[in-house]
Amino acid sequence: MTKTIQIITILISTFFFAQNEEQNIVDLNPNQKEINKQQDYKRNYLINFLESSYNKENGFYLLTEKKIENMTSLEMSNEPTFKVSDIKKIEIIQNGKYRPYLKIYLKHKVQHKFADLISKNIGNGIATIVDRKIIMMTPISKETSNSYIEVIGLYNLEEVNKLKDKLKQ
């Protein structure tokens, strides 16, 4: 009987403690609904952006972030920043236990343009489009190489080989 009372007491205490804790969270952060709304918007926006079909040739496109009121949107350049014809060579990198990826080297004549693009667009990104779909969005940072682009994703070796073939066309 004593054990039963102890268990009931613990359950009741836990129930009331959980209610108080939840109430404190709401009291401490009255803007949580707005934060959740913004996070939902960003998540849905990115999913729609990535899953959309683009009437664009295979290539690499500059992505810039635009603020509209409190929301953010992405804008893609109309023309490819780098075309498939700007590719010098493509290597498949076998990354040990990790998935393989593509290392796409740019021709020397566009490396200067790429370096300039990187320096002027830290925080923006590059979308890789193949068959009218974004297969990768790469953020531009100070560490971005000016001679190659890496296409890293959830690809197996067969998919990486297909991507390589499509980018060599």
Q: What is the pLDDT of residues 117-154, one digit of tens each?
A: 888 988 888 888 999 998 888 888 877 777 888 888 76
Where does the pLDDT of residue 34 fall: very low under 50, low under 70, confident under 90, or very high at 90 and above? confident
The string of pLDDT tens digits covering residues 44-79 is 777 787 788 999 999 999 988 887 776 778 889 999
C-alpha span between 167 and 152 (Å, rounded): 14
**Is 59 within 8 Å of 78 (Cβ atoms)?**
no
Full-prediction pTM beyond 0.85? Answer: no
Q: What is the DSSP string of 82-145?
A: EEGGGEEEEEEE--TTSPPEEEEEEPHHHHHHHHHHHHH-TT-EEEEEETTEEEEEEE--TT--
The whole-number pLDDT of residue 43 equals 78
Fold of 56-168: Gyrase A; domain 2 (3.30.1360)
- The sign one gets for the Cα dihedral 140, 144, 145, 149 is negative
Residue 11: helix, strand or coil by DSSP? helix
**If phi over 0 gives left and psi between -120 and 50 gives alpha, with beta otherwise, what is residue 26?**
alpha
Phi then psi for 115, rounded to 5 degrees?
-60, -40
Band (88; pLDDT cuts 50, 70, 90): very high
**Among residues 165, 161, 16, which one has the least CA distance to residue 87?**
165
Nearest to 64 by CA among 141, 133, 123, 136: 123
What backbone phi and psi angles, to 5 degrees, belong to 32? Answer: -60, -35
Looking at per-residue confidence, does 25 or 52 come out higher?
52
Q: Considering only residues 143 and 82, tell me which one the structure prediction assigns the higher pLDDT.
A: 82
Say yes or no to pLDDT of 27 above 90.
Answer: no
98 or 8, which is more confident: 98
pLDDT for the residue numbered 132: 92
* Residue pair 101/155 in contact by the 8 Å Cβ criterion: yes
Residue 53 backbone dihedrals phi, psi, to 5 degrees: -100, 135
